[in-house]
Amino acid sequence: MFGIRSARIIFLVLVVISGLAVGVGWAAEPAQPSATAHLQLVVSGLVAPLDFQSARDGTGRFFIVEQGGTIRILKAKKLLAPPFLNISSIIVSGGETGLLGLAFHPQYKTNGRFFVNYTRRVNGQLQTVIAEYHVSSSNPNLADPNSGRVILVINQPFDNHNGGQIAFGLDGFLYIGTGDGGSGGDPQGNGQKLSTLLGKMLRIDINSAPPYGIPPDNPFVGVSGAKGEIWAYGFRNPWRFSFDKTTKRLFVADVGQDAWEEVDIVTKGGDFGWNIMEGKHCYPPGTNCNQAGLIQPIAEYSHSEGIAVIGGYVYRGGAIPALKGLYVFGDFGSGQVWTLQETQPGTWTRAPLLSADFNISAFGRAGNNELYVLDYNGNLYKLVAG
Q: What is the pLDDT of residues 283-296, one digit of tens each?
A: 999 999 999 999 99
SS (H, E, C) 67-124: CCCEEEEEECCEECCCCCEECCCCCCCECCECEEEEEECCCHHHHCEEEEEEEEEECC
Determine how many CB atoms are found less than 10 A away from the CB of residue 216: 9
Q: What is the pTM of this model?
A: 0.93
CB-hemisphere CA count at 13 Å for 181?
20
User: What pLDDT is stored for residue 108 in this prediction?
Assistant: 99
User: What pLDDT is stored for residue 35 in this prediction?
Assistant: 72
Question: Which distant-in-sequence residues (6+ apart) come within 8 Å of 311 by Cβ?
Answer: 165, 238, 239, 240, 241, 242, 251, 252, 253, 263, 329, 363
Radius of gyration of the chain (CA): 19
- In three-state secondary structure terms, 372 is strand
Query: Is residue 199 left, alpha or beta, with left meaning phi > 0 and alpha meaning psi from -120 to 50?
Result: left
Which residue type occupies 72?
Answer: R
> Residue ranges per domain, the chain?
6-385
Q: What string of pLDDT tens digits covers the 386 residues of the chain?
A: 565 443 343 333 333 344 323 333 344 554 454 678 999 999 999 999 999 999 999 999 999 999 999 999 999 999 999 999 999 999 999 999 999 999 999 999 999 999 999 999 999 999 999 999 999 999 999 999 999 999 999 999 999 999 999 999 999 999 999 999 999 999 999 999 999 999 999 999 999 999 999 999 999 999 999 999 999 999 999 999 999 999 999 999 999 999 999 999 999 999 999 999 999 999 999 999 999 999 999 999 999 999 999 999 999 999 999 999 999 999 999 999 999 999 999 999 999 999 999 999 999 999 999 999 999 999 999 999 99
Q: Confirm or reject CATH 2.120.10.30 for domain 6-385, answering yes or no.
A: yes
User: What pLDDT is stored for residue 128 in this prediction?
Assistant: 99
pLDDT digits (tens, 9 = 90+) for 342-362: 999 999 999 999 999 999 999
